[in-house]
Amino acid sequence: MTAPVKAADLIRHLTSVAEAQADENDQGGGLSSEEQFEQRVTGMLGELLDTDALDSIAPLEPVVVDMLFRDTLARIYGLSGTFKSFMTLDTAACVATGIPWHGQTTRPSPVVYLVVEGLRGIRKRVRAWE
């Protein structure tokens, strides 16, 4: 089981990542906005792949087999009251503890769960999961 991350350590890490990205974005020093734009476009063109290059992309790494993969974006949506938050918490807790999620193998990984829809309901959801 992975040890919980301290909030101060997480904030420190996220701040350093944001600062690094800001430094990277500021490297156009002395260039006009048009030149900076052209530089960004050139950078994006350098990231385009042809069909041969697709074969060099690493295969998907499952976090939850057949459902959630590393370095991808997932979205959970539905009507109010359809247990989206609880299912998300269930998935996150299974990944964090390395236990299977409803029969699907998980890859034990650190998890950050941001509560954005209302703090008051999270305690009962976590306690129910525990």
Say which range, 31-45, 65-79, 87-101, has the weakest mean pLDDT: 31-45
Q: How confident is the model at residue 69 (pLDDT cuts 50, 70, 90)?
A: very high
Buried (b) or exposed (e) across 18-53, using 16+ Cβ within 10 A?
A: eeeeeeeeeeeeeeeeeebeeeeeeeeeeeeeeeee
> pLDDT tens across 73-94, in order?
888 889 988 988 889 999 999 9
